[in-house]
Structure 1
């Protein structure tokens, strides 16, 4: 049961009763009525804005209307008190019995607790990682990969039909550089002394196996070919090898995409989807030939004042119209991106999410304008930018990876600290905030390490179950709720506070999903773990609050029910984020 959804319904019902009794005019729209936690917990358990948003249409003063609503709510046996505060907020305090009912509902719901149908099966495309296929993934890709995958899991948990997608940037100059780099390693495999890797080519050792594979397949035949002949052969093989490497890196993080979409597929056959997209936009008057004003500040070296093929991005909220063709007649990256998002729209996606690095900030408005244009305003695009990750070891910056040549690979990080640590730590900051990752801090076993703190709470809950089974062998786990009467021992303020925190899980998950902010789940799980650890420690000083009392089976079952609710919520939240909920810590 969602406490906030429950009381939103009760507030709406109170308003409807006031209308029926002639105290309010008919036809009042309650769509903007919300119930949420008060800013100050001392003000109660819940607060509603009903009187504030309904006063004007009701022709009443907010505080007067708040008093009428409060009187209706106070009649419920679940409500201890209702107070009117400030200009007309209604604060509600609930009975201990109500919260014990919430505990009962959590355990009865089991793994389904917190799941929501708010997504109503709507298809959502989440595109993330989408790194150039020119080498192994680095730690910067790692954050976007974890964020995107956790967001996809969160959306699935709340009823959306999610497609996880990877856009392969296999067109353009960077894959030609990859081919030339692989050809150099091919020559090396044939025994040539290649010396130092020239500037402009990829220096990492990860291309050595590609060079050897080329040598095994082609022998020395590529040496006699001009570049125009060997380059497309080598490029295709090198891209496939790099994508295999990318998939292996993602698998190490527990990430698997549903769709891998090739950029090159957009230009096959007379310009393909890109040409078709530009033609469609031109027919609608959204593509024209024109000149752009020079950019502000110092002009880039490659800027030229010339007539160009331009997309009317300004008609859809962008700051300037955008070029679709380069001076050599080839398409810009933006042209391909428009066609790609048009393809998503034609596949049925009206909601699209792109997870990109922080250096793509200038991309946001132009792509949102493009999606509006190609979808006739039917689709929306949310671009989530992930800030940089800085690696440290004991406070000192981490040096570059020898395997990669000039960066730290994702695999290096995962192999050293483990998948779960990487995934959780990457979500301990909002995606657009910088994140420091210290190898020593993220592996220490202390309350200052958030992933340890949360996983230890889940493992501690299961240790309680194991200990309880020794004292009461007849108790079967997972527990069945003993019902409201059997939960009467849950009466201490700290216990009830923990129940209140657990009861907020459905609302937390739903709001995080709608905001596209999976870090909220990580923060919440830390709060749950903190409350649970605090209750454990409180039991050391107050024996009557210990989870297991060999002399009192009834109170033990009640408190084990609370512990099971903690384990359920932690397990669901961690699973949503792609982190294993451990039952033992070693």
Structure 2
């Protein structure tokens, strides 16, 4: 049940009746007609821009349209009043029975309240994490993993068919470095003293991998040249790293649908096929790029390269896809990978990259636009850095990885639920401060504790009501006399819950799951204010002397818990029933 959608439908229906009556010209395009919250809550429950957006095509003054539309809407029993404001905005107040009816609707829908069919089953591929398989995931990957997983859940909730995908970067030089680093640990497992040259991976996590390699091949690779063991050790080590990464993701509650190997693109003709697709569109040519802006690198020289004409699809400059020696650039397999996704028939692609990929956004969007003839949109979300603190001071934990704080370090310190919620308290393109002391603090200053406590408080109310002999199952609560929900504080709380389905669609359209966390904090704040008023005003107390008076109020609280639970479900956070 989406009241905003329902009232918008009422507005569209009223406009159609005015067209049929000849009051408005026919065939008006109403796609941009919206029903939203008014800028000032004192102006009403909802507002519509219908008169403003239809004035020009109707060749009428906005206020004239608003006047006749207000009169028509006032005929519906759901509308208590329709008032014209300013040049033609229309503010609506709903009959209290509309708000009262929302409570049993929420209890009936359960955690599906707010679920939308907006996506209409369109297929969306969300690629996220995609960390190099050279070690455990670090705290930066953690935020990307949480954002990607929560976004996938949000889009699913909004009616899309979502695929979670991890692109394994196992085709570049970094996996050769991994193989050489593993080989050093293999030698170490045989009792040899080793030194890690600059550029290798010295983290302790490779000790077990070196020992596992020894267990598998014995001394077969001792004193052998690199060409004998490099390929097999690379595959072995990459497999072990992906096992480690899967374990890290599982600790965070993330499960991928697809793991796609970059290596599978090489030697299979798939890169060539993608480039030929672009060539067939006249977008591949031989040319020389202009020198980079600013100070020239000492080794820069103009040279002819094979280039992708990405400027025809919104990029700033054309991009090389083949080096002068005939080898592919890093961009070429990425083009092929996205070509594969386009060919799999997705209606939309979403990539979640680290902040250091900012320069990659335009070229990747250009490639997908060219490969799909502009039919497959690509949205790229950049994940800004996470700064770790404890009691306000920069915090460094033990670094098993050798050079960075791992995902596992963070989750073991504060738990997956706390990690996930805090990672979603800010928009992805804003940096985030993660204070371990505040994350574990049981106070209203801690957003995850605040929301969890709100849910637990409602569960406590239900337990106390049951102990008092009041039936609190959803069926009984849903059948209570909701006309007794008539205090302005109660109706205000219902209005906040009514906004949940709208917020789901807004967040899904923008691909911004942090909006869910923001809404939950606001909802719990509204409930806390209401609950605290009940300590002073007897009429607002949820447990009264008789069940008939108590049950509608308890139903209101239970509906809040349902919405909190639905929102936390999208974020991948478990709602708690009791704080410990």
For 2:60 and 2:393, how far apart are their aligned partners in 1? Answer: 63
The alignment partner of 2:474 has SS state of coil
The alignment partner of 1:514 has SS state of helix
For 1:480 and 1:110, how far apart are their aligned partners in 2? Answer: 14
Q: In structure 2, do the counterparts of structure 1 residues 355 and 491 end up closer, same or farther at CA, with 3 Å as the change threshold?
A: same
Q: CA deviation at 1:313?
A: 0.3
Aligned to 1:88: 88
1:7 aligned to 2:7? yes
For 2:11 and 2:138, how far apart are their aligned partners in 1? Answer: 51
Number of equivalenced pairs: 580
The answer to whether the 8 A contact 2:108-2:474 is kept is no
Aligned to 1:436: 433
- Bigger mean CA deviation after superposition, 371-380 or 404-413: 371-380
After superposition, residues 30-179 of structure 1 pair within 5 angstroms as: 30-179=30-179
For 1:215 and 1:169, how far apart are their aligned partners in 2? Answer: 25
**Pairing partner for 1:297 from 291, 294, 298:** 294
The answer to whether the 8 A contact 2:36-2:47 is kept is yes
**Pairing partner for 1:396 from 393, 398, 403:** 393
For 1:225 and 1:21, how far apart are their aligned partners in 2? Answer: 90
The answer to whether the 8 A contact 1:118-1:510 is kept is yes
- Bigger mean CA deviation after superposition, 97-106 or 423-432: 97-106
Q: CA deviation at 1:476?
A: 4.6
For 2:285 and 2:357, how far apart are their aligned partners in 1? Answer: 26
Question: Where does structure 1 lack aligned partners over 5 or more consecutive residues?
Answer: none
Residues 215-265 of structure 1, C-alpha deviations (whole Å, 9 max, x = no match): 122222212321122111111111011111100100000001000000010
**Pairing partner for 1:405 from 402, 405, 409:** 402
Aligned to 2:414: 417
Q: CA deviation at 1:25?
A: 1.3
1:528 aligned to 2:523? yes
Aligned to 2:369: 372
Q: CA deviation at 1:576?
A: 0.9
Q: CA deviation at 1:482?
A: 4.3
For 1:299 and 1:547, how far apart are their aligned partners in 2? Answer: 71
TM-score (norm 1): 0.97
Aligned to 1:243: 242
Aligned to 2:534: 539
Residues 3-58 of structure 1, C-alpha deviations (whole Å, 9 max, x = no match): 11111111112211211222111111211110000111111110100000111121
1:556 aligned to 2:555? no
For 1:165 and 1:460, how far apart are their aligned partners in 2? Answer: 38
Aligned to 2:467: 470
The answer to whether the 8 A contact 1:124-1:353 is kept is yes
Aligned to 1:342: 339
The answer to whether the 8 A contact 1:130-1:166 is kept is yes
TM-score (norm 2): 0.98
The alignment partner of 1:221 has SS state of coil
For 1:20 and 1:284, how far apart are their aligned partners in 2? Answer: 49
For 1:513 and 1:482, how far apart are their aligned partners in 2? Answer: 29
The answer to whether the 8 A contact 2:472-2:551 is kept is no
Aligned to 2:264: 265
Aligned to 1:310: 307
Q: CA deviation at 1:301?
A: 4.7
Q: In structure 2, do the counterparts of structure 1 residues 298 and 123 end up closer, same or farther at CA, with 3 Å as the change threshold?
A: same
For 1:41 and 1:340, how far apart are their aligned partners in 2? Answer: 49
Q: CA deviation at 1:481?
A: 4.3
For 1:480 and 1:173, how far apart are their aligned partners in 2? Answer: 64
The alignment partner of 1:83 has SS state of strand
Aligned to 1:519: 514
The answer to whether the 8 A contact 2:462-2:472 is kept is no
For 1:401 and 1:316, how far apart are their aligned partners in 2? Answer: 46
Q: CA deviation at 1:104?
A: 2.5
The alignment partner of 1:81 has SS state of strand
Aligned to 2:496: 501
